[in-house]
Structure 1
């Protein structure tokens, strides 16, 4: 196997084969680049993490108070979760992911940020569908505390509010289901969501049917493959 490429793990999942890979690209220096693929589709790369970190930074900047309880929807390579834990006000963080394979990569520390998440006693992994848990406020996100409310929910699962990792996720993006999720936030709690696309006016309008304030942020980051900056967006909403 080439020293420039290694497939660390590959497993079947309900969404198809998911694989974790590591590579070096000499033109970009001696850094190790971690990638996750679902089938033939690239889901994420450690080359591009600025927007995932900005999801935490922008979302938590709008949360008031201390002793915060936070939900991160979607574990991925761990960048959103680790960025959130840099906020010393957080007392507990639940990272929800539907794929036990992805959680095990972190528990076994096959990805670099697994060691950080495992060592932080505030962090806890929850195996389950974010969308199922989000739309059942009577049970909620915490399997040890039904109906618990949180200060912030940070979501990074679908490609955008109109492009879904799984077609079944589409049903989440309605006033009814967003309101069910918002029921799990404390008063003035924050919901923030990542998207690979520029802000969409139709989604902003939908969010405004549930939340008191809705702000969209365009996050720019260098893309060496294209020789220019790329952009993602982050929606930040405050509960009524």
Structure 2
């Protein structure tokens, strides 16, 4: 059996410790004993971006991604975006970006230097608030993958994103016809209801963790502002 090797750790503000480990040729980000993400099962995180952008009609979308993680969603968005769109990524743990430029540099490629991408070291809720308050323009899509689902498992401060108030703020940060897309490791009927109660047109999609139709089934909600 190939042992896991710890490469680095990082403290989440207001949360627990993340650990970057390698297991043979694979890399995994752990939260305690739980796997948050890994290079072997990244397909659903890529689908979060691809399926969202496929549903947008604007040729130059303005996209907000909550959480950089291992960059799967960002890279998929850049590949789908076209030359005039823009993606802003909110990442609250600075060491995550150090890992992206260090031990995960081969995986990262040139995505962090892409002129269509901006990385903000902040809470994604702050950027949502800026759009609601008119400090910044509205987004055509907001993609959330900051937890394992619609709860604050990674950081208790994230819980506000999934409340009725948080959903309403995200809705109001969207341009008309814009999409709020939320990744989850499992279904959550109560969250689906909260999205609908916010007046959003909701589509729930199940995707596999691996592109060969294997691995765990994950859930993505696409909630459109009508």
TM category, shorter = 0.7 to 0.9
Distance 1:3 1:172 in 2: 38
1:58 paired residue number: 51
Could you tell me which of 172, 193, 216 is aligned with 1:205?
193
Q: Aligned-pair distance for 1:109?
A: 6.1
2:225 paired residue number: 239
Contact 1:103–1:125 under 8 Å retained in 2: no
Contact 1:105–1:114 under 8 Å retained in 2: no
Choose 54-63 or 37-46, whichever is displaced more. 37-46
Work out whether 1:179 is the aligned partner of 2:168: yes
SS at match of 1:87: helix
Distance 1:222 1:63 in 2: 24
Distance 2:12 2:50 in 1: 31
Q: Aligned-pair distance for 1:128?
A: 0.7
Bigger fraction of residues in helix: 2
Could you tell me which of 122, 136, 143 is aligned with 1:154?
143
2:10 paired residue number: 11
1:34 paired residue number: 27
TM-score scaled by structure 1? Answer: 0.82
Contact 1:210–1:239 under 8 Å retained in 2: no
Distance 1:95 1:74 in 2: 7
1:98 paired residue number: 92
Q: Aligned-pair distance for 1:21?
A: 1.8
What is the Cα-based RMSD across aligned positions, in Å? 2.6
Contact 1:56–1:83 under 8 Å retained in 2: yes
The structure whose RCO (Cα within 8 Å, separation 6+) is larger is 2
SS at match of 2:75: helix
**1:111–1:20 Cα change, 3 Å:** farther
Distance 1:222 1:115 in 2: 21
Distance 1:206 1:136 in 2: 23
**1:229–1:5 Cα change, 3 Å:** closer
The structure whose Rg is larger is 1
1:28 paired residue number: none
TM-score scaled by structure 2? Answer: 0.87
Q: Mark the runs of 5 or more structure 1 residues left unpaired by the alignment.
A: 25-31, 141-145
2:207 paired residue number: 219
* 1:54-80 deviation digits (Å, cap 9, x = unpaired): 111121111112111111111111111
Q: Aligned-pair distance for 1:223?
A: 11
Work out whether 1:67 is the aligned partner of 2:90: no
Pairs aligned (count) = 223
Q: Mark the runs of 5 or more structure 2 residues left unpaired by the alignment.
A: none
